[in-house]
């Protein structure tokens, strides 16, 4: 998959892309992330990319020309490129959407700054508007990293063990079951006996029960909503 990121701060991505799963996915050729500096597309002689809001008020607004030109130059006439603009006013990102996006060939992520985008950027480009949650960050870079990471780990070949993504929280509509590793006892707390039993049918049963119980206790809303992969009514 190709992911183009349009940002005023491409340097922010270097650390995230060069460690762990994202590093490996890029080295394997599963993921190709291309960073583009929106400032390189401005026609302003002072390289400005923002201006004061019409009507007054605090802060600056991202100007339409550099953003629209950057998107058009990067997208070219690629019909497969899915355009996504990061904004707290968008559809809230979740595992279902991560799965949908992992099925795309190419994503173009547009990161805002300041007070956000001139509205004509949205009217002209008609991107999918995507939020990472009901809070306001200083820019779209961290939200873009969230999307890149969540999508990349779902790409075939990105994870060493493909089963690990399948078992994670939300993937089945439930939270993940509790995990334990060595030692068998730590500060008086023992690993549940069943996990040491070697009986895989019993282990699977225990994990399924734990995942359901944990979801019921912490996120009962997930049991009611089919959005993460199906209703769990039959387990209730």
Ligand X SMILES: C[S@@+](CC[C@H](N)C(=O)[O-])C[C@H]1O[C@@H](n2cnc3c(N)ncnc32)[C@H](O)[C@@H]1O
| 132: contact with ligand X by CB under 6 A | yes
Among 111, 147, 152, 211, binds ligand X (CB under 6 A): 111
For ligand X, the closer CB: 131 or 169: 131
Q: Which of residues 143-172 bind ligand X (CB under 6 A)?
A: 143
Among 11, 133, 192, 226, binds ligand X (CB under 6 A): 133
| 64: contact with ligand X by CB under 6 A | no
Type and span of the H or E element at 67: helix 64-75
Radius of gyration over every alpha carbon of the chain, rounded to an integer in angstroms: 22
| 63: contact with ligand X by CB under 6 A | no
**Closest C-alpha among 5, 10, 68 to residue 34:** 5
Q: Tokens 């002689």 map to which residue?
A: 45
| 87: contact with ligand X by CB under 6 A | yes
Q: Name the residue with the smallest CB distance to ligand X.
A: 112
Question: How many amino acids of this chain bind ligand X (CB under 6 A)?
Answer: 20
Q: How far is the CB of 136 from ligand X (least distance, A)?
A: 5
Q: List the strands of the sheet with 128-131, edge to edge.
A: 32-37, 2-7, 106-110, 81-92, 128-131
CB atoms within 10 A of CB 154: 21
CA pseudo-torsion sign 226, 229, 234, 236:
negative
For ligand X, the closer CB: 24 or 68: 68
Residues that bind ligand X (CB under 6 A): 86-89, 111-113, 115-117, 131-133, 135-140, 143
């Amino acid at each position: 998959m190709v992911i183009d990121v349009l940002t005023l701060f491409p340097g922010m991505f270097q650390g995230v892309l060069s460690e762990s799963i994202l590093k490996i996915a890029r080295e394997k050729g599963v993921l190709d992330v291309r960073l583009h500096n929106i400032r390189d597309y401005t026609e302003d002689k002072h390289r400005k990319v923002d201006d004061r809001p019409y009507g007054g008020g605090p802060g600056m607004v991202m100007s339409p020309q550099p953003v629209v030109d950057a998107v058009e130059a990067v997208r070219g006439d690629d019909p497969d490129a899915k355009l996504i603009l990061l904004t707290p006013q968008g559809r809230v990102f979740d595992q279902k959407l991560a799965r949908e996006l992992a099925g795309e060939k190419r994503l173009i992520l547009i990161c805002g700054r300041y007070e956000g985008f001139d509205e004509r950027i949205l009217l002209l480009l008609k991107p999918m508007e995507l939020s990472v949650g009901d809070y306001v960050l200083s820019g779209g870079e961290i939200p873009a990293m969230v999307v890149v990471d969540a999508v990349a780990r779902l790409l075939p070949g990105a994870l060493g063990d493909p089963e690990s993504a399948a078992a994670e929280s939300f993937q089945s509509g439930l939270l993940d079951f509790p995990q334990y590793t060595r030692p068998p006892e730590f500060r008086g707390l023992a690993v549940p006996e069943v996990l040491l039993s070697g009986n895989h049918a019993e282990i699977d049963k225990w994990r399924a029960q734990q995942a359901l119980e944990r979801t019921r206790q912490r996120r009962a809303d997930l049991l009611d909503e089919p959005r993460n992969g199906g209703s769990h009514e039959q387990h209730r």
